[in-house]
Structure 1
Amino acid sequence: MITLSNVRKSYNSEVSIGPVDLQIPAGGITALVGPNGAGKSTLLTMIGRLLGLDEGTIEIGGYDVTTTKSKDLAKIVSILRQENHYVTRLTVRQLVGFGRFPYSKGRLTVADEEVISRYIDFLDLRALENRYLDQLSGGQRQRAYVAMVLCQETDYVLLDEPLNNLDMRHSVQMMQHLHKAARELGRTIIIVLHDINFACHYGDRICAVKDGRIAEFGTPEEIMTDDLLTRVFETPVECINGPRGRLACFY
């Protein structure tokens, strides 16, 4: 479980996050949605301890992210940010291998290599493992980064807009991989998404963020209502029943 208690972060008198009180159950996919500037990515980076808190506490699996040693926290939670500044002469396999650093400290063992191969196969990257990152498409490169994060083998995985710059086909493929990781690998995945329909279709829970606070938190069925989404996104929304669940139509 991830627990946020009275979490606050202030940038200036006009921009602030919180207070946030939230409990995210272990297991499945929880999608953070909301308008631009709502605070989704800020919340995620605070959970992953890439951004400090002004007030409050965050616990992941019972560990306080502020006080837990980095070497221990790196075996509990992994995070992939939006900005992935890759080294062009790095191969896919080398990149995925970075996920083993909390265990190997850069000296990969035979066991580490087996884990790397496992996640390369999991993300369907076997044919690309010796390619350099600058030889890949955006979708292939994003899969490699997700493989690296999963290779860290943490129970909790934080992903900040992993569908950014992906077309529809690659977005669907990415969400299918993440859904599989949650189900087959037992990972708890927290993901920032802009597309509410992806959040509804693949998410087990949706957390709607607005103005730096939690506007709503619940199952897709609870969140996908006309009034709620219209209020959160401040634009007319109509939810319709599709063949695979509710869909949001924006006007």
Structure 2
Amino acid sequence: MIELKQLTKYFGEHPVVQNASAEFEKGKVTAIIGPNGAGKSTLLSMAGRLLKRDQGEVWIDGQELVDWDTKALSKRLSILRQANTVSLRFTVRELISFGRFPYCQGNLKAEDNEVIDKAIEYVDLGAIQYKYLDELSGGQRQLAFIAMVIAQDTDYVFLDEPLNNLDIKHSLQIMSTIRRLAHELNKAVVIVIHDINFASCYSDTILALKKGEIVAKGSVEQVIDSHVLADIYETPFNVIEVDGNRMCLYFS
């Protein structure tokens, strides 16, 4: 389990995240939602040691984050950031192989290639594994990056807005893969996401931020509620049930 305790971050004198506490459990998808500027990506970056925190603690399996050796941490926690650009020309398979670096330092062995094969199969990229990234659509490239994270084979996976600028087909494919990672492979997957309906349909736990503070957290039923969402986003919501899933309708 990952535990966040009273995390706080200032940019200058402005608090971006204040006293945020949460838990990320294995076998569950946790969605972090909230308006633009709420501190979602900042919180995830502090939890992943990408950004220095000003106050608070992060515990991973009983050990404080600052005490983790970088190599050991890279075998426990993988992170996919918002902006993923590769300047060199790599094939899909070559990109995915980077996920094995913590284990082989670039010298791929038979067992590494087996893990890469499984990651490619898991996201159904076999037909394009030898294509170059610049030959792919945005959705295909994002799937390749997620396959790289899968190949890293960590207990904890952080994904910062992986659906940015993707069409419905690829968004559904990615969210389905994210849920399978948690439920089938027993990983704790934490995703920063703007689409509330995707969060509702594919998450187990939802964490809502507003102005740097956690204002709601709990199950889908607890957070995907018209009154709760209206307070978070300061706009009216209508929440309905569709085939057992809670869906949000927006209106002004």
**How far apart, CA to CA, are the structure 2 residues paired with 1:91 and 1:63?**
37
1:176 corresponds to which letter in structure 2?
S
| 194-203 vs 17-26, greater mean Cα deviation | 17-26
Gaps of 5+ in 1: none
Gaps of 5+ in 2: none
Q: Is 1:46 equivalent to 2:46 in the alignment?
A: yes
**How far apart, CA to CA, are the structure 1 residues paired with 2:55 and 2:105?**
32
**How far apart, CA to CA, are the structure 2 residues paired with 1:60 and 1:195?**
28
Q: Is 1:22 equivalent to 2:27 in the alignment?
A: no
Is residue 88–residue 134 contact of structure 1 (8 Å, CA) maintained in 2?
A: no
Q: Residue 88 of structure 1: CA displacement?
A: 4.6
Q: Residue 63 of structure 1: CA displacement?
A: 2.6
1:238 corresponds to which letter in structure 2?
N
**How far apart, CA to CA, are the structure 2 residues paired with 1:168 and 1:243?**
19
**Can you list the C-alpha shifts for 1:12-70, whole angstroms capped at 9, x where unaligned?**
22342111122232221000000000011111111111111111110122232122110
Is residue 201–residue 244 contact of structure 1 (8 Å, CA) maintained in 2?
A: no
Q: In structure 1, what is the equivalent of residue 84 of structure 2?
A: 84
Alignment of 1:191-206 (within 5 A): 191-206=191-206
**How far apart, CA to CA, are the structure 2 residues paired with 1:105 and 1:88?**
19
1:126 corresponds to which letter in structure 2?
G
Q: In structure 2, what is the equivalent of residue 175 of structure 1?
A: 175
Q: In structure 2, what is the equivalent of residue 155 of structure 1?
A: 155
Is residue 18–residue 213 contact of structure 2 (8 Å, CA) maintained in 1?
A: yes
**Can you list the C-alpha shifts for 1:95-121, whole angstroms capped at 9, x where unaligned?**
000000000011111110111111011
Q: In structure 2, what is the equivalent of residue 130 of structure 1?
A: 130
**How far apart, CA to CA, are the structure 2 residues paired with 1:149 and 1:237?**
35
SS at match of 1:59: strand
Q: Is 1:71 equivalent to 2:79 in the alignment?
A: no
SS at match of 1:71: helix
**How far apart, CA to CA, are the structure 1 residues paired with 2:244 and 2:236?**
22
Q: Is 1:231 equivalent to 2:228 in the alignment?
A: no
Is residue 157–residue 189 contact of structure 1 (8 Å, CA) maintained in 2?
A: yes
Is residue 16–residue 38 contact of structure 2 (8 Å, CA) maintained in 1?
A: no
Q: In structure 1, what is the equivalent of residue 56 of structure 2?
A: 56
2:207 corresponds to which letter in structure 1?
C
Is residue 224–residue 239 contact of structure 1 (8 Å, CA) maintained in 2?
A: yes
| 10-19 vs 142-151, greater mean Cα deviation | 10-19
**How far apart, CA to CA, are the structure 1 residues paired with 2:127 and 2:78?**
25
| 40-49 vs 239-248, greater mean Cα deviation | 239-248
1:3 corresponds to which letter in structure 2?
E
Alignment of 1:1-12 (within 5 A): 1-12=1-12
**TM-score normalised over the length of structure 1:** 0.97
**How far apart, CA to CA, are the structure 2 residues paired with 1:106 and 1:24?**
30
SS at match of 1:49: coil
Is residue 99–residue 150 contact of structure 1 (8 Å, CA) maintained in 2?
A: yes
What is the aligned length?
251
1:131 corresponds to which letter in structure 2?
K
| 10-19 vs 202-211, greater mean Cα deviation | 10-19
**How far apart, CA to CA, are the structure 1 residues paired with 2:181 and 2:5?**
28
**How far apart, CA to CA, are the structure 2 residues paired with 1:87 and 1:61?**
35
Is residue 87–residue 133 contact of structure 1 (8 Å, CA) maintained in 2?
A: no
**How far apart, CA to CA, are the structure 2 residues paired with 1:63 and 1:71?**
15
Is residue 5–residue 58 contact of structure 2 (8 Å, CA) maintained in 1?
A: yes
SS at match of 1:86: coil
